[in-house]
Chains A and B, each alone.
Chain A
Amino acid sequence: MKRMSFGQATVDATRLAMRADDRVIVLGEDISWGGNFGQFRGLLEEFGPDRIIDMPISEALIMSAAVGAAMTGLRPVASMSFLEFTMGAMDEIVNQAAKMRYMSGGQVSVPLVLRASDGILRSSGAQHSGSLEALFTHVAGLKVVAPSNPADAKGLLRSAMDDDDPVIYLENKSITAKRGWVPKGDHRVPLGTASVVQKGTDVTLITYSAMTLRGSDAAALLAFNHGISAELIDLRSLWPLDFETVAASVTKTGRVVIAHEAWLTGGYGAELSARIGEELFADLKAPVVRVGAARAPIPFGPPLESAVVPGTDAIVDAAVRVAG
């Protein structure tokens, strides 16, 4: 084990994958300088400009070139820095990357990873803040992962780079600098495996990405202030989804809070809540409650930002409502 930041852990995974396979290349904006969050730092020095490729600010091209390279024998990683910038490549993500294998009748796979920094980091403003995972989980053909800690950041990125399908890898800006213990060597976390962060009996808190940290704080407050035992699940992978782990917990607690930074309306929590309702209704002792951002672009001013984005308190309040 080695202590490193989330960002460093992704560099570690990328370095190991690139050493193991010449077909791996990285196409991104400003990556030879290390990236906005240090998530590519040091890779140019080892792998050179033919594999660590600085791209023009041409998001559609970055994505479609990755698709073309992936269909012809390479395993590209694409990066456009902020998640919001990938909106300029939505045709390439949705109509090309996601559908190519299916439309071709299985002739080809599209093994690529799109890395994008999402979440909310100190007044970045509405066009550099947000969580859009539901746009991607909605699309058949895509896989979506959203790790919450450095070890999973490494393990999930490595598995995503091994995967033969397009994977959207969401790395939350607010936790990129957070440090943790990371296994050395070829550490992998299989896609589609959730993690039970903390065991509990009264309520299941389902989170992913940065919200897992707030979920962990909420669980401690629930135990200390309210005598509520919360089980915390970090989904890690949104598609494929480890619904077995979710179901096992919900069957036990009968009470569920789903928390994400993304807008509540039409968010991933809505999908998960619906599925829990459809498949586990008899096990529920209370309605599933969702916690998410209010329906506004993420504001700039710090008090406004805090008002829109759900914090630990919102998770505690929701859990008390269903389990108090």
Chain B
Amino acid sequence: MSPPTAPATLADLTNASALAIHRTMVRIRVFETRVTELFAAGELPGFVHTYLGQEAIAAAVCENLTDDDYITSTHRGHGHAIAKGMGTDRLMAELFGKETGANRGRGGSMHVADFSLGMLGANGIVGGGFGIAAGAGLSALHRGSGQVAVCFFGDGGVNKGPFHEALNFASVKALPVIFVCENNQYAQFTAISRTSAVEDLAIRATAYAMPGTTVDGNDAGAVYGAVGTAVEAARDGEGPSLLNCVTYRHSGHYVGDAEVYRTAAEVEQWKAADPIGRLEAALTATGWLDAAGVESVWEAARAETAAAERFAASSPDPDPGNALDYVYTPTGEVGP
């Protein structure tokens, strides 16, 4: 399949929302590019899955949300965290395993969370977010809060049992949940075409009596519009939706993956259809941004990531004496 390369669609976007999405996408790109370098240089413990190439989805989805709304994320969660408002300094510090990290160094790349922003955590288990998002939606409904929950997941997640369990339940109870599939076409190392009975994953929504839409996931404006419709329906009590956002992972499954399962030509083809390039083509064509404006966004992102790295590198490690903190809630401490 050759990727779409047309400039992004701006029809549903205002100047402000388009520029905000662009800024977020660039910030994620620069951050993840540096994370890749840091990991390769042995600066980061553990392993990392980067969001390179999928930036349009997190940025455009979260532009539709308020700080009170919830998201559940995946092992590839840095982009979601940034788009939901997490500071890159606290995110980078978490990747370094530092006490100043978002999770005080207890979580790492696959578990970054900020509950004050409704970011209910990246999740190291494929499909781990389905039921959590449904539960958050149930909670919002129970409290009458008007919040929605977005469940991000990959094409690998759709073959997990909890996908079906959660979509069914969300539909039965008309929960305010938007299921956003980031279909980057590979579940770990295996092409989705080899593991899913239906190629167009939006079809699966039919079985659960909810709207299902396939979107060009590298077109930030298209994602923004489709998610906007789904969020509005969720807030209006019309229940959940499934969005199949087709995109492509520029990097391997994790940094260091030998990528023997796909061709270099395929990767190059998709990199040429880069979502940031497509958005910038649209923005400069309409005059919402000129070349100097584009460059200043990238420059600001580079400065931000450099500052985040300095903050992380210079932050203290967690005290090993506190390794058992946070396993249980101290008696008397009020829960959420």
Which A residues are within 8 Å of any B CB, using their own CB? 25, 50-51, 55-56, 58, 60-61, 63-76, 91-92, 95-96, 100-109, 111, 140-141, 143, 163-165
Contacts and interface: CB of A to CB of B under 8 A. Distances in A.
A237 to B, nearest CB: 13
Given A70-B135, A109-B329, A65 B169 contact: yes
A20 to B, nearest CB: 15
Residue with the highest number of chain A CB atoms closer than 10 Å, among B70, B105, B166:
B166
Given A64-B134, A105-B103, A72 B139 contact: yes
A101 B161 CA distance: 25
A26 to B, nearest CB: 12
Interface of B: 70, 72, 101-107, 111, 113-116, 120-121, 123-125, 128, 130-140, 142-143, 149, 161-162, 165-166, 168-169, 172, 325-329, 333-336
Contacts of B116: 107
A68 B329 contact: no
Contacts of B161: 60
Given A65-B169, A73-B336, A107-B114, A100 B134 contact: no
B163 to A, nearest CB: 10
Contacts, number: 153
Contact of B131 (A50, A67, A73, A106): A67
Contact of B135 (A51, A69, A140, A163): A69
A96 B132 contact: yes
B111 A103 contact: yes
Given A68-B136, A69-B138, A60 B327 contact: no
Residue with the highest number of chain A CB atoms closer than 10 Å, among B101, B115, B329:
B329
A109 B106 contact: no
B134 A65 contact: yes
B131 A92 contact: yes
B327 A101 contact: yes
A313 to B, nearest CB: 39
Given A61-B130, A111-B336, 7 more contacts: A61-B166, A64-B162, A71-B136, A72-B136, A91-B125, A103-B111, A106-B325
A60 B72 CA distance: 16
Given A96-B128, A140-B327, A72 B166 contact: no
Given A72-B139, A101-B328, A58 B70 contact: no
Contacts of B114: 107
A103 B101 CA distance: 12
B131 A71 contact: no
Given A92-B131, A103-B111, A105-B104, A58 B165 contact: yes
Contact of A103 (B72, B106, B142, B162): B106
A101 B115 CA distance: 11
Nearest to B172: A56
Top 7 nearest A-B pairs by Cβ distance? A68-B135, A64-B131, A105-B104, A58-B165, A61-B165, A65-B135, A106-B326
A25 B142 CA distance: 9
Contacts of B113: 103-104, 107-108
Contacts of A108: 113, 115, 336
B255 to A, nearest CB: 21
A165 B328 CA distance: 6
Nearest to A162: B335
A204 to B, nearest CB: 28
A100 B333 contact: no
B317 to A, nearest CB: 14
Nearest to A51: B142
Given A68-B133, A72-B70, A104-B115, A56 B138 contact: no
Contacts of A106: 104, 106, 325-326
Given A69-B136, A72-B120, A141-B327, A107 B169 contact: no
A104 B107 contact: yes
Nearest to A190: B331
Contact of B142 (A74, A100, A101, A107): A74
Contacts of A69: 135-136, 138-139, 142
Nearest to A68: B135
Contacts of B101: 105
Residue with the highest number of chain A CB atoms closer than 10 Å, among B72, B113, B139, B166:
B139
Nearest to A100: B121
Contacts of A164: 329, 333-335
B166 A71 contact: no
B123 to A, nearest CB: 8
A140 B116 CA distance: 25
A72 B329 CA distance: 16
